[in-house]
């Protein structure tokens, strides 16, 4: 999905895998049904404690972005390497023609390299946003337990794929939390039977998107998405056009 969808979680980048362990990460949730759904979702996707024990994660990611006409706006094939422990580091590499590109975040600093040389024209904010966009969805549902998200259970519904799902709403409040730069609203969908995270809808200030996780792979005890599609939707949730598709492969997890 587009970069701006994830900017509001910038401060929380990679925090899920580096947070202090809690005996009960759901202790602050009072709604018993919400607590039950999240608990089963966390277990279905690999377990909260296991997620916090990850030392590194890597995978390949192919992305196609589409214009409303259906024409491809941009296509990329990237290698992602995320190191969580003992320190956070993100490396995203890809090739464009004869140029080897790398976005790198390390010790709080970001930079872009072209054929091993620092690209002085790259803006830090743009690089950060690109990294946030690439790392956020890999942490769902674990990142729902980050501080500040106002969570509520909205019952069950049928999503466009025909699956019946539990709906967990997440509202972010930039006036109360500096980490939330945008007041976006998310509806996360968990399969009614097995509690796998099968998609979400996100409402932004200028548009809404609907995303489906189409296939999964179990690696290192975690259920990772291998195929995902994103649609631009209207105010009623009706699909307008496909905005992006993603293919993930070659996952490696070290704990």
Instruction: Select from 245, 253, 185, 235 the least CA-distant residue to 215.
Output: 245
pLDDT-based confidence at residue 154 (cuts at 50, 70, 90): very high
What is the arithmetic mean of pLDDT over 50-68?
Answer: 95
Question: Pairing state of beta strands 164-171 and 72-83?
Answer: unpaired
Question: Per-domain residue ranges for the chain?
Answer: 3-254
- Kindly state the tokens that stand for 114: 């072209």
Chain-centroid distance of CA 116 in Å reads: 28
Distances (CA, A) of 221 to 30, 118, 178: 29, 37, 34
CA pair distance 3, 13, nearest whole angstrom: 14
Q: Is 176 exposed, middle or buried (0-12, 13-18, 19+ CB in 10 A)?
A: exposed
Q: Specify the pLDDT at position 21.
A: 46
Q: What predicted TM-score, i.e. pTM, was given to this entire model? A: 0.84
What is the arithmetic mean of pLDDT over 110-126?
Answer: 92
What is the arithmetic mean of pLDDT over 128-140?
Answer: 79
132, HSE (Cβ side, Cα atoms, 13 Å): 22
pLDDT of 14 > 70? The answer is: no
User: pLDDT exceeding 70 applies to what percent of the chain?
Assistant: 86
pLDDT-based confidence at residue 80 (cuts at 50, 70, 90): very high
Q: Specify the pLDDT at position 177.
A: 43
Tens of pLDDT along 161-182? 999 999 999 997 655 444 444 5
Q: Specify the pLDDT at position 145.
A: 86
Q: Specify the pLDDT at position 183.
A: 59
- Class of domain 3-254 as given by CATH: mainly beta
CA pair distance 101, 135, nearest whole angstrom: 18
């Amino acid at each position: 999905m587009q970069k701006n969808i994830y900017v509001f979680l910038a401060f929380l980048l990679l925090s899920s895998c580096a947070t202090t362990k809690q005996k009960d990460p759901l202790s602050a949730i009072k709604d018993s049904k919400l607590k039950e759904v999240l608990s089963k979702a966390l277990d279905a996707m690999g377990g909260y404690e296991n997620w916090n024990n990850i030392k590194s994660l890597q995978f390949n990611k192919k992305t196609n972005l589409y214009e409303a006409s259906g024409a491809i706006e941009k296509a990329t094939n990237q290698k992602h390497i995320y190191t969580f422990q003992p320190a956070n580091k993100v490396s995203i590499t890809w090739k464009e023609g004869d140029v080897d590109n790398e976005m790198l975040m390390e010790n709080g600093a970001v930079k872009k390299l072209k054929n091993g040389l620092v690209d002085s024209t790259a803006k830090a904010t743009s690089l950060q946003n690109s990294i946030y966009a690439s790392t956020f969805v890999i942490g769902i549902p674990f990142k729902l337990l980050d501080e500040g998200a106002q969570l509520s259970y909205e019952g069950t519904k049928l999503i466009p794929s025909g699956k019946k799902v539990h709906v967990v709403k997440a509202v972010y409040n930039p006036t109360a939390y500096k980490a939330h730069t945008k007041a976006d609203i998310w509806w996360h969908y968990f399969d009614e039977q097995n509690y796998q995270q099968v998609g979400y809808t996100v409402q932004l200030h200028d548009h809404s998107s609907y995303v489906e996780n189409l296939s999964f792979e179990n690696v290192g005890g975690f259920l990772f998405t291998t195929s995902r599609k994103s649609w631009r939707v209207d105010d009623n949730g009706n699909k307008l056009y496909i905005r992006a598709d993603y293919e993930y492969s070659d996952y490696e997890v070290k704990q």
